């Protein structure tokens, strides 16, 4: 049986605990949304992915609007 636990943060975890679990901890401030965007773009249907114009347009729109949009929503 495999059990997985997800915690909100690792504020009280020691470095030994983190390394034993095979985790890489990064401060939330240093993370961006770009890995999520890239991952999502890899999952679009093949007929959309085949159209380079659509893929380029989506990437440009994400680059142009996503950071400012998420900043606005968080405020």
Q: ∠ CA 28-44-55 to the nearest 5 degrees?
A: 90
- Number of folded domains in the chain? 1
Q: How far apart are CA 26 and CA 22, in angstroms?
A: 13
Half-sphere exposure of 20 (CA within 13 A, CB side): 5
Task: Tell whether 48 is covered by a domain.
Answer: yes
* Residue 6: pLDDT over 70: no
Task: Tell whether 62 is covered by a domain.
Answer: yes
Task: Tell whether 11 is covered by a domain.
Answer: no
Per-residue model confidence as pLDDT tens digits over 34-73: 888 999 999 999 999 999 999 999 999 999 999 899 889 9
Task: Tell whether 18 is covered by a domain.
Answer: no
Q: Taking the model in full, what pTM does it have?
A: 0.56
pLDDT: which is higher, 15 or 38: 38
pLDDT: which is higher, 4 or 55: 55
Task: Tell whether 41 is covered by a domain.
Answer: yes
Q: How far apart are CA 52 and CA 17, in angstroms?
A: 45
């Amino acid at each position: 049986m495999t059990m997985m636990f997800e915690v909100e943060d690792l504020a009280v975890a020691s470095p030994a605990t983190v390394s034993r679990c095979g985790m890489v901890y990064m401060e939330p401030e240093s993370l961006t949304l770009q890995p999520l965007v890239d991952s999502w773009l890899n999952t679009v249907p093949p007929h959309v992915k085949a159209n380079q114009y659509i893929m380029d347009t989506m990437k440009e729109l994400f680059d142009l609007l996503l950071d400012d949009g998420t900043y606005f929503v968080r405020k």
